[in-house]
């Protein structure tokens, strides 16, 4: 109930006013059954605009921290993110990654439409980065279709580090479903999963027009953070004293 209320009453009108979103290729989204919408990821607002423009309910997997913050604000966030169709997952690695994978496969087998960002995190600079192979594993294990989605302009609405959304026209392009039935039964083969993921990323590059970088976005962000931490602090500039006569 809260999902549809947020879409049509709470956030929807505001997003339509701010972003004037348009969409093409909507007919490529399956009307029923499990499927993956594999999208590029430029901004937090991606997860709000895509559900706004797709009639069918979309479920996203969100980091668990959105649901576990203490206090009144934390309670509100939990209600909000649950209401807009997000499912909490632990992204700390190891067993957590396996649990997240199992959750995604379960949702797909329950005929959910699952929103996935193969890059694993937002692009740090607007370029398209190497995809993680989890999306391929989900596809093969759940035997579902992958539909590529390009979000265009959302980084202008919600730049990294910004606290407020800004007015800017957004366009969403949905490509034709990708057929991976030729790989059925090959889940767990890392070469097959890498090939599938690269095919998905190529489709996203074609749709979005982004420059592709053959590196993981998370690694780029980590390097930038280390470089910033290692940079020596600039000494304060000398302040000239007033001359006393």
pLDDT-above-90 percentage for the chain: 57
- Report the alpha-carbon distance of residue 44 to residue 162 in Å, rounded: 10
What are the tens digits of pLDDT across the range 120-176? 999 999 999 999 999 999 999 999 999 999 999 999 998 888 888 899 999 999 999
User: What is the pLDDT, as a whole number, of residue 244?
Assistant: 45
Average pLDDT of the chain, as a whole number: 86
Give me the DSSP letters along 119-159. TSS--SSS-EEPPPTHHHHHHHHHT-EEEEEEEESHHHHS-
Top pLDDT among 242 and 100 is at 100
Top pLDDT among 131 and 224 is at 131
User: What is the pLDDT, as a whole number, of residue 91?
Assistant: 62
Catalogue all structural domains in the chain, each as residue range(s) with its CATH number: 2-58+96-217 (3.40.1130.10)
Check the CA dihedral 200-202-207-213 and report its sign.
Answer: positive
Residues forming beta bridges with residue 35, ordered by sequence position: 113, 145
The pLDDT of residue 243 is above 60: no
- Report the alpha-carbon distance of residue 110 to residue 112 in Å, rounded: 6
- Report the alpha-carbon distance of residue 5 to residue 109 in Å, rounded: 26
User: What is the pLDDT, as a whole number, of residue 83?
Assistant: 62
Say if CB 36 and CB 139 are below 8 A apart: yes
Query: What are the residue ranges of helices labelled H in the chain?
Result: 2-5, 12-19, 46-53, 65-68, 71-83, 95-109, 134-142, 154-157, 190-208, 217-230
- Report the alpha-carbon distance of residue 199 to residue 65 in Å, rounded: 31
Give the confidence band of 230 by pLDDT, cuts at 50, 70, 90: confident
The whole-model pTM stands at 0.85
Rounded alpha-carbon distances, angstroms, from residue 226 to 122, 127, 214, 231, 234 = 18, 21, 20, 9, 17
Instruction: Report DSSP state, residue 7.
Output: I
**Average confidence (pLDDT) over 24-32:** 97
The pLDDT of residue 102 is above 80: yes
Give the confidence band of 22 by pLDDT, cuts at 50, 70, 90: very high
Top pLDDT among 142 and 232 is at 142
């Amino acid at each position: 109930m809260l999902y549809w209320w947020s879409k049509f009453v709470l956030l929807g009108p505001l997003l339509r006013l701010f972003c004037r979103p348009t969409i093409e290729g909507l007919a490529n989204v399956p009307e029923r059954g499990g499927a993956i919408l594999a999208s590029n990821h430029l901004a937090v607002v991606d997860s709000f605009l895509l559900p706004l423009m797709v009639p069918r309910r979309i479920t996203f997997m969100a980091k668990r921290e959105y649901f576990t913050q203490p206090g009144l604000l934390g309670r509100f966030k939990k209600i909000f993110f649950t209401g807009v169709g997000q499912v909490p997952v632990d992204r700390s690695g190891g067993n957590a990654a396996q649990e997240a994978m199992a959750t995604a496969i379960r949702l797909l087998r329950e005929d959910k439409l699952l929103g996935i960002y193969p890059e694993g995190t937002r692009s740090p600079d607007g370029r398209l980065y190497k995809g993680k192979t989890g999306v391929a594993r989900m596809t093969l294990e759940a035997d579902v279709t992958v539909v590529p989605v390009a979000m265009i302009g959302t980084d202008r609405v919600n730049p990294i580090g910004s606290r407020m959304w800004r007015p800017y026209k957004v366009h969403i392009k949905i490509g034709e479903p990708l057929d991976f039935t030729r790989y059925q039964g090959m889940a767990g083969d890392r070469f097959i999963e890498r090939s599938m993921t690269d095919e998905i990323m190529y489709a996203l590059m074609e749709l979005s027009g982004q420059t592709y970088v053959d590196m993981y976005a998370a690694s780029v962000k980590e390097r930038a953070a280390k470089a910033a931490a290692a940079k020596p602090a600039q000494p304060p500039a000398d302040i000239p004293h007033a001359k006393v006569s």
